[in-house]
Amino acid sequence: MTVRSTTLAPGLDVSAQGYGAMSVAPVYGPVDPAEAIATLHHAIDIGITFIDTANVYGDGASERAVGEVLRTRRDEVQLATKFGLVGNIAAGQRGIDGRPEHVAGFLDASLGRLGVDSVDLYYLHRVDPNVPVEDTVGAIAELVTAGKVRHIGLSEATGDELRRAHAVHPIAAIQSEWSVWSRDVERHVIPAAAELGVGFVPYSPVGRGYLTGTFDPAVLGESDLRRRFPRFSDEALAGNAKVLGVVQDVAGDAEATPAQVVLAWLDAKGRQFGLPVVSIPGTRFASRVSENAAALELDLTADQVSRLDELAELTVGARAADPTWVSLGRE
């Protein structure tokens, strides 16, 4: 199969589905480096050329893995990375640094790990509560002028923060969690993005693996990032089995896999809200990349979309342990 391209923002054409490269860092358990590199190559081979990483994923491990692939394939990839989160993220010891004077240094460190001289999309990973978003975006805009950044993005910003940032410099994309069980962004963030012509990049579109139907809590390692999320507690998982059951029922009706169904739902919602949507599912396995990409060929019926629309209200557990770290807690 060959994945089609789409326009995420003016001047930023990407594959219609991206690849979330947090999975090639050991955040969901041990990673085989050779397999991670092979998976990245496979994604590009089939046309998944929009690759999303960040400086904090595995303390730079994700960027270094992506950089290994870019050594021979930079011209084939639309590259996105992020800055702003600091500290040991996996251990829950994290902070936010959006100070303008630090932005250039964060970018140069990422460029070094990636082995490139510029990125196509540079996100502020979280808005710093102690720094006006206008100031941080102004500093990124200087890097656009310098030729090190092509487009600017925000992650987990509120609708108001998106509007304020866009007034300083055009924002190409906003990234937030969005899926059948995480829909809070539909209240304010997505309408703002649609109004401004900003593309939307949903992360964790398959619920950190849970909505694929392959998640096994019995093999969840002590260092697995999912241990920090309320939806993965024993009590929540028992309740969320109902959510997964509906996804599996719809998948049976659609003759598709659960992952394909929830990814196709996002494509349908993008059409409903009238904005470009490019999800970035992550996986360590090439076969899963192909499975996810096949969702682009799946058109759900109105009834199937409606059944999936009901799942957010059935979901047990918040999408973040601390809501102030996501747009939901600052609306």
What order do you get walking across the sheet with 149-155 strand by strand? 19-20, 50-52, 78-83, 119-124, 149-155, 171-177, 199-203
SS3 content of the chain, % helix, strand, coil (to 5): 50, 15, 35
CB 144 within 8 A of CB 150: yes
Residues in a beta bridge with 12: 9
Give the separation between CA 314 and CA 102, rounded to whole angstroms: 42
- Assign residue 84 a region: left if phi > 0, alpha if psi is -120 to 50, beta otherwise? left
Give the separation between CA 284 and CA 173, rounded to whole angstroms: 25
- DSSP assignments along 64-123, one per residue: HHHHHHHHHHGGG-EEEEEE-EEEETTTTEEEE---HHHHHHHHHHHHHHHT-S-EEEEE
Helices and strands in the chain: count of H runs, count of E runs = 11, 11
In the annotation, is 123 catalytic?
no
* Encoded tokens for 64: 């270094």
Which of the residues 19, 28, 57, 123 is marked catalytic? 57
Q: Which residues are catalytic?
A: 57
